A and B are shown apart, each in its own frame.
Chain A
Amino acid sequence: SQQGEEDPQALSIQEGENATMNCSYKTSINNLQWYRQNSGRGLVHLILIRSNEREKHSGRLRVTLDTSKKSSSLLITASRAADTASYFCATVSTSGTYKYIFGTGTRLKVLA
């Protein structure tokens, strides 16, 4: 019943490389957000992009949004071992209640 699908499901890269994760969703959205979750911990908000924005940057993070394709991507540049975590996209719909609907997640492993 989750709205978003993310790919890849798992990604393993070397420290210093870039990591790209993709998210697709199904309905019209107000905004899309990316969260990180370390093993056994809660989710931490990374970045929010509104439906009228196409790209946003925050530090080593770059997010793009294509509402015509109902998809988003998260790019982490110059990855570090500390970036090892699961990454989830979450959408807030334009209709109904303002709940956050999460994707299935990408498990990123950065090797030192």
Chain B
Amino acid sequence: GAGVSQSPRYKVAKRGQDVALRCDPISGHVSLFWYQQALGQGPEFLTYFQNEAQLDKSGLPSDRFFAERPEGSVSTLKIQRTQQEDSAVYLCASSPLQGSTEAFFGQGTRLTVV
């Protein structure tokens, strides 16, 4: 595709509900990242994939957060039993190499937990 695509763009979830956020990276990009951005803050790293391997998940805030990239392309970030503090914009980025080049970001998914 032309760029990184994320869906849905907006998601409203009731507290306790499970949500799944999708990321379609640029075709052929090896690296895929998920970030969480609170209002007025910089993006906070959540997790990193190199192809299908999840090499770093140190930023996932709790075991309610789970990410996968089973075939090394599309990735899904799942949040179980959502809580109000999970409200944020979730950004996905991809890059062709391991950090030596720029990252290409999607438009993000704005999650609001009510």
| Contacts of A62-112 to chain B: CB distance below 8 A | 88, 90, 92, 96-105
> Does B102 lie within 8 Å of A98, measured CB to CB?
no
| Contacts of B61-114 to chain A: CB distance below 8 A | 91, 93, 98-108
Smallest CB–CB gap between B7 and chain A, Å? 13
Chain B residues within 8 Å of A100, by CB: 33, 45, 93, 99, 103
Which of B41, B42, B99, B105 makes the CB contact (< 8 A) with A92? B99
Looking at chain B, what size class is its interface with the partner chain? Answer: 20 to 34
> Does A99 lie within 8 Å of B102, measured CB to CB?
no
Chain B residues within 8 Å of A60, by CB: none
Give the number of residue pairs across the A-B interface with Cβ within 8 Å: 70
> Does B44 lie within 8 Å of A30, measured CB to CB?
no
Chain B residues within 8 Å of A43, by CB: 43, 91, 93, 103, 105
B102 to chain A: closest residue by CB: A45
> Does A101 lie within 8 Å of B45, measured CB to CB?
yes
Instruction: Report if A103-B91 is in contact (Cβ < 8 Å); known contacts: A41-B107, A44-B105.
Output: no
Residues of A within 8 A of B (CB): 1-2, 4, 30-31, 33, 35, 41-45, 48, 88, 90, 92, 96-105
Residues of B within 8 A of A (CB): 4, 31, 33, 35, 41-45, 48, 55-56, 59, 91, 93, 98-108
Give me 19 A-to-B residue pairs in the complex whose CB atoms sit less than 8 angstroms apart, sorted by A's number. Answer: A2-B41, A2-B42, A30-B100, A41-B107, A42-B4, A42-B91, A43-B43, A43-B93, A43-B103, A44-B105, A48-B101, A98-B31, A99-B45, A100-B33, A100-B45, A101-B45, A102-B44, A102-B45, A105-B42
